[in-house]
Structure 1
Amino acid sequence: MKPLLLADIEAAVRSSWGADTTTPEHRPHWTPDHPARDQCGVTALVLHDLLGGELIRGEVHVDGVRTDFHWWNRLGPGTDIDLTREQFAAEEIVSGGTVIPRPPRIVRLREEYELLRDRVLERLDCAA
C-alpha cells in the first residue's frame, strides 16, 4: 500500500463531506457552497483515526458570547491541522484550544462519524 500524504487525506475528507455528515440540527442549512460548516467534530475524529495525535477543542465566540465549540487536531508541538477552519464568518472568533481525550466510544454523531470515516477510507483505498 502506498503511503498516505496529508494532501491525499485532505482531498478525501473534503470530498466526503455532505449534509449527512454534519450535525442533525445543521443539516437543513448545509450547502455544497460552504461544505466545511459544522463538520469539525467528525472530521477531527477521522483525522485522529488516520494520523493519531490529540483532539483539540476551542470555543467559538460572537460578540464575546460563546456560541459553539470547534474541534481540530494536533500532531505535535506547533503542528495543528484544522480542515474546517474556513467555516467561520469574520464575526465568529475561535479561542482557546484544550486537549480533549478521545472518548472510548463515540455516542453523539456516531452515525455521521462512521459515514465520513467510511467514505474517506474508501477514497483513500484503505480497508475499513
Structure 2
Amino acid sequence: MTAWTLNDIERAIRSSWGVDTCAPEDLAHWRPDNPARGQCGVTAMVLHDLLGGELMMGEVHVGGVRTDLHWWNRFATGFEVDLTREQFGPEERVGPGRPVARPQRPGRLQAQYELLRRRVVAQLEADRRGDAPAVALAQRACA
C-alpha cells in the first residue's frame, strides 16, 4: 500500500468540501469562494482518521466575544495542521488551542463527517490508481 502524504490528503480534503459537508450553524456563511467555512470539525476528524495525532480546539472571538469553536490537528512531533484556517474573516480571532478527546461519534455532524470521509478516501484511492482528474494529476506532478 502506498502511503499518502499530507499534501495528498490536503488536496483530497479541499476538493471534497461542499455545502453538504458544512456544519449547520455555518450554512448561511458557506460560499464556493470560501469552501473551508464550517468544515473544521469534520476535516479535523478525517485527518485524524488518516494520520492520527491529537484533535485541537480553540475559541473563536469577534470583538472579545466568543462566537464559535475551531478544530484542527496536532501530530506527535508538535506540528500543528489547520486545513480550514482561511475560513475566518479579519474580525475573527482564534485563541490558543487545547488538545481534546475525540468524540466516540461526531454527533450532530455524523452525516457531514461520513460524507466527507467517503469523498476523501475515494479521491485518494483514485489518485493511487491514476484515474484522478487531470488537474489533480498535474498538481501532484508539480508537488
1:59 is paired with a residue whose SS is strand
CA contact (8 A) 2:29 2:37 kept: no
- Greater shift, 69-78 or 47-56, is seen at 69-78
Q: Which has the larger strand fraction? A: 1
Counterpart in the other structure of 1:36: 36
In structure 2, C-alpha distance between the alignment counterparts of 1:87 and 1:81, rounded to whole Å? 14
The code of the aligned residue for 1:56 comes to M
1:38-79 per-residue CA deviation (whole Å, 9 max, x = no partner) reads 100000000000000000000001111101000000002430
Q: Which has the larger helix fraction? A: 2
- Greater shift, 76-85 or 107-116, is seen at 76-85
**Which stretches in structure 2 are left out of the alignment for 5+ residues?**
127-143
TM-score (norm 2): 0.84
Q: Summarize the alignment of residues 1-12 of structure 1 with structure 2, pairs less than 5 Å apart.
A: 1-12=1-12
TM-score (norm 1): 0.93
**Matched residues, percent identical?**
62
The code of the aligned residue for 2:43 comes to T
Q: CA deviation at 1:96?
A: 1.7
Q: Summarize the alignment of residues 25-104 of structure 1 with structure 2, pairs less than 5 Å apart.
A: 25-104=25-104
Q: How many residues align?
A: 126
Please say if 1:105 is aligned against 2:105: yes
Counterpart in the other structure of 2:136: none
CA contact (8 A) 2:61 2:93 kept: yes
1:3-37 per-residue CA deviation (whole Å, 9 max, x = no partner) reads 20111100000000000000123224321100101
Q: Tell which structure's C-alpha radius of gyration is larger.
A: 2
In structure 1, C-alpha distance between the alignment counterparts of 2:28 and 2:66, rounded to whole Å? 22
**Which stretches in structure 1 are left out of the alignment for 5+ residues?**
none
